Amino acid sequence: MSNEKKLVLLVDDDPDYLFQLEMMVKNLGFRVKTAESQAEGESVLDTLKPDLAIFDLMMENEDSGFILSYKAKRKYPDLPIIIATAATAETGFTFDLYNENDKAWIKADLYLEKGIRPDQLHREINKLLKL
């Protein structure tokens, strides 16, 4: 494993949240590439492979994060993906990545509620990147 900083792709349509997340991830010692929509995220994935990605769930569509995860995993099957969302707080909708039915169509590796603390995020990223 080289010492080169790992690249994390962040995709979220809320510019304020995206900026906060970008600062948080940079402060953890990672390089960051951002995109502000599912479409922009897809075009970034066409040109580069991040070491890890964090996608918002609801962007252009209510399931943008899932669609982006699906497309990213098709292109880079080993890419760790975190879905970060406030959907449960906003809609009461929950899903379970450990339930086989949900896992079959949700291609993310981890699901986090927005408002995650930096130390928690750092632990989860390190776990997914096996650092």
Q: What angle do CA 117, 121, 127 make, to 5 degrees?
A: 150
The whole-model pTM stands at 0.86
At the topology level of CATH, where does 16-129 sit?
A: Rossmann fold (3.40.50)
Question: How does pLDDT run across 9-64, given as a tens digit for each residue?
Answer: 999 999 999 999 999 999 999 999 999 999 999 999 999 999 999 999 889 888 89
- The CA–CA distances, whole Å, from 95 to 63, 64, 66, 107, 125 equal 12, 15, 12, 12, 21
**Residue 93 reports pLDDT greater than 50:** yes
Indicate the pairing of strand 81-85 with strand 52-56.
parallel
With tokens 């291609």, the residue in question is: 107
Whether 130 has a pLDDT exceeding 50, the answer reads: yes
Any idea which of 35-49, 66-80, 97-111 has the lowest mean pLDDT?
Answer: 97-111
Q: What order do you get walking across the sheet with 52-56 strand by strand?
A: 31-35, 7-11, 52-56, 81-85, 110-113
Q: What local confidence, expressed as pLDDT, does residue 18 receive?
A: 95
The pLDDT value given to residue 1: 43
Q: What is the mean pLDDT of residues 66-83?
A: 94
pLDDT of residue 85: 80
pLDDT of residue 12: 96
Mean pLDDT of the chain: 86
* pLDDT at 122 > cutoff 60: yes
